[in-house]
Structure 1
Amino acid sequence: MRFTLSCFLLLGLGNWLTTPTRGEEPAKITHSFLATGGETYLLDGSGKELWKYPGSTRDGWVLPNGHILLALSKSKEHPHGAIVEVTRENKVVFQFEGSQSEVNTAQALENGNYLLTEAGDKPRLMEVNPQGKVVVDVPLKAQTKDHHLQTRMARKLPNGNYLVPQLLDQVVREYNAKGEVVWEAKTPNWAFTAIRLPDGHTLIGCTHGNQIVEVDAKGQKVWELNNDDLPNKPIKDACGVQRLPNGHTVFTSYAARPGELKLLEVTPDKKIVWTYTDKRGAGIHTFQILDTNGKVLDGPAMK
């Protein structure tokens, strides 16, 4: 079924309706998702809150065992940030404290380790084993004037390297375990999210640029989405991004106020097919779409 521009925004979850063919009922898109940011919560497809974490977070994943892995914002309890794995009852089953300015990445790896980044005078990426021992320590090449704008959603790639968006440096770099830069792509604005796609392209959320770009293996732009492509210019700080198995792109509008669009899903030809809004004061920093119309997404999450 082809999505058209004659869509109607529903209140609440803001599901968009597709235009039905003769004899069909309108079909709506629903998503269950994890949201991180000033508020951290899990919603089902109807908008019901299934779980909430009592703290501000930077990054997060729902793990196959149902636990949730989070990168925690720095706070009185965690002055340098931290990563935690918690049960749905918020029992901590793993915790690792940062040692510099803040922690901005959390990823559970297939080898059982946890990936995190530390921002500070010596920015670095680390793998920590389940016993809390640092087993990989990769120094990152980044400016040190502003720790907060060093790195965001770093991810380990299938080839064993690490993809790191670096905000104020306006670049996405791929590092090997020795800390060598083996690939990089300049970005038109602060790079917040970087996702290596199966075809070798890289999808990048450029936060304050209010844009999302996709570049090829040579770093050349092959697709772009910005406010000029969408009605009412809804992109306000494009932080978290996820590419769905059907080729659609979901992204946050982190600076959206209560009642404004906080998550949007667009097709490759830039048609909006789903949105989410709420009355919460906190914006959505990053997220993980978990299912579509009740069906769990296939394959690893591209976020």
Structure 2
Amino acid sequence: MTLATTFVEQNTIRRRGTGLKAYNPEKVYSGYTLFTPLTGKGEVYLINLEGKVVHQWQLPYLPGLYGYLLPNGNLFYNGKTVEIPPRFPVWSLFKGGVVLEVDPQGKIVWEYHHPDHHHDGRRLRNGNTILLALEKIPKSLVSQIKGGVAGTEVDGDIYADVIHEVTPEGEIIWSWHAYEYLDPEKYVITKQDQRHEWTHGNTVGELADGNIVLSFRNISTVVIVERETGKIIWELGDDVLAQQHFPNELPNGNLLIFDNGAHRQNVALNFSRVIEVNRQTKEIVWEYVDNPPHNFFSSYISGAQRLPNGNTLITEGAFGRIFEVTATGELVWEYINPYFAPQNAPGESALVAKGEQNSVFRAFRYAPEEIPWLS
């Protein structure tokens, strides 16, 4: 008698299935989806609505943390350079170090290195590039920073965010330092987070009026910085948000925000949501929450993009899930990143999750006319 042996996939996400999971051609926004596997080696994929890869880039840097298409059709990529030992625990997970512009054939046409760059870098309308970076705050401020896990500073130091505008020639012509504008009494680190960072920015973006929108995860706050003065002229805080990502401006001036939901105030259940916020009233005028709510949750990374037909493309980043919903919340397209690997965290050890993951920081949908070189 021979006993049959059956292989059982032990990675839960992969066992449940990857690739295209749902597609309603009558309601989906037609186009191509761009995503960068966070655990990849520099691969960036463009897939069609059937989930087939129609174009691929292979970049010479690990993702740090994603790429998107510029109006000229080139890829703008945030890459990661290795720093060992890391300057503080888990720095390797989200550090960048290099931004580059790459043509469709993979040729690098522009490249800029900065050792403090992390999470996000974007091309401005004036042709310059804006970078999210880190710096140590003055020693005199360390004792004033509230919250976080006691004793987890970096040799007595705390880092916060700084924004740099860089010319095509690599000259920094404008900087904004978070510690100069944020009040330590008001902006408190979530008590479960370590004190090696105060703000932990994850998004920098340019608004239609030229001002800058920033997202600070560790203090659950989104701010708008007036470009001319550096003053914070708008904010949404932890009474609404919970470790949010990717605030981005809609044509009507509202902000679309992925509200992760980790450590949400006065709510025991962990769930994520995507919200559209009226900037004048700060009212939530649209919201996507799954039913039941805990079916949709990514405690970190993630984002959302409003599509021209009114649908919203959502990246549930921790699980590599990219899906599209209508204005009424109906799911019309879903794709699970099939590319798994351990986290890219050179020099890290105990604080890095083990096992293979398929995380995606952000994904974007592009209409065919936005990628004329593809035809």
Q: Report the TM-score range of the alignment, normalised by the length of the smaller protein.
A: 0.7 to 0.9
After TM superposition, give the deviation of residue 236 of structure 1 in Å.
3.2
In the aligned structure 1, how far is the partner of 2:337 from the partner of 2:216?
Answer: 30
Rg (Cα) greater in structure: 2
After TM superposition, give the deviation of residue 89 of structure 1 in Å.
3.7
Task: Point out the structure with the larger helix share.
Answer: 2
> 2:109 matched to which residue of 1?
93
After TM superposition, give the deviation of residue 120 of structure 1 in Å.
3.4
> 1:4 matched to which residue of 2?
none
Q: Which amino acid in the other structure matches residue 168 of structure 1?
A: N
After TM superposition, give the deviation of residue 155 of structure 1 in Å.
0.6
Q: Which amino acid in the other structure matches residue 233 of structure 2?
A: V
Contact 2:29 2:307 in 1 (8 A): no
> 2:185 matched to which residue of 1?
none
Q: Which amino acid in the other structure matches residue 218 of structure 2?
A: L
In structure 2, relative to structure 1, the CA distance for the partners of 1:243 and 1:278 (3 Å cut) is: same
In the aligned structure 1, how far is the partner of 2:318 from the partner of 2:325?
Answer: 19
Q: Which amino acid in the other structure matches residue 129 of structure 1?
A: T
Structure 1 range deviating more: 159-168 or 51-60: 51-60
In the aligned structure 1, how far is the partner of 2:175 from the partner of 2:27?
Answer: 48
Question: Which sections of structure 2, spanning at least 5 residues, go unmatched?
Answer: 1-16, 85-91, 137-159, 183-188, 263-271, 341-357
| TM-score (normalizing by structure 2) | 0.65
In the aligned structure 1, how far is the partner of 2:126 from the partner of 2:330?
Answer: 38
In structure 2, relative to structure 1, the CA distance for the partners of 1:229 and 1:120 (3 Å cut) is: farther
How does 1:65-80 map onto structure 2 within 5 Å?
65-76=72-83
Q: Does 1:50 align with 2:103?
A: no
After TM superposition, give the deviation of residue 223 of structure 1 in Å.
2.2
After TM superposition, give the deviation of residue 275 of structure 1 in Å.
0.9
After TM superposition, give the deviation of residue 208 of structure 1 in Å.
4.7
Contact 1:165 1:173 in 2 (8 A): yes
Query: Secondary structure at 2:333's aligned position in 1?
Result: strand
How does 1:63-142 map onto structure 2 within 5 Å?
63-76=70-83, 81-100=97-116, 102-121=117-136, 122-141=160-179
Q: Does 1:180 align with 2:237?
A: no
Instruction: Give per-residue Cα distances to partners, 1:245-301, cap 9 Å, x unaligned.
Output: 1111111111216xxxx101111111111111242112211122112xx4549xxxx
How does 1:19-58 map onto structure 2 within 5 Å?
31-36=31-36, 37-39=38-40, 40-45=43-48, 46=50, 47-54=52-59, 55-58=62-65
Q: Does 1:62 align with 2:69?
A: yes
Structure 1 range deviating more: 136-145 or 265-274: 136-145
In the aligned structure 1, how far is the partner of 2:18 from the partner of 2:246?
Answer: 28
In the aligned structure 2, how far is the partner of 1:200 from the partner of 1:82?
Answer: 31
After TM superposition, give the deviation of residue 27 of structure 1 in Å.
7.6
Q: Which amino acid in the other structure matches residue 84 of structure 1?
A: L
In the aligned structure 2, how far is the partner of 1:252 from the partner of 1:43?
Answer: 15
After TM superposition, give the deviation of residue 64 of structure 1 in Å.
2.9
Question: Which sections of structure 1, spanning at least 5 residues, go unmatched?
Answer: 1-9, 19-25, 298-303
How does 1:109-258 map onto structure 2 within 5 Å?
109-121=124-136, 122-141=160-179, 145-147=195-197, 150-177=200-227, 178-186=229-237, 187-209=240-262, 210-217=272-279, 218-228=281-291, 233-237=295-299, 239-256=302-319
In the aligned structure 2, how far is the partner of 1:86 from the partner of 1:115?
Answer: 17
Seq. identity, %: 21
Query: Secondary structure at 2:202's aligned position in 1?
Result: coil
> 1:270 matched to which residue of 2?
329
In the aligned structure 1, how far is the partner of 2:18 from the partner of 2:79?
Answer: 31
Contact 1:140 1:179 in 2 (8 A): no
Instruction: Give per-residue Cα distances to partners, 1:161-203, cap 9 Å, x unaligned.
Output: 1011111111110001232101011242112110122222211
Q: Which amino acid in the other structure matches residue 133 of structure 1?
A: E
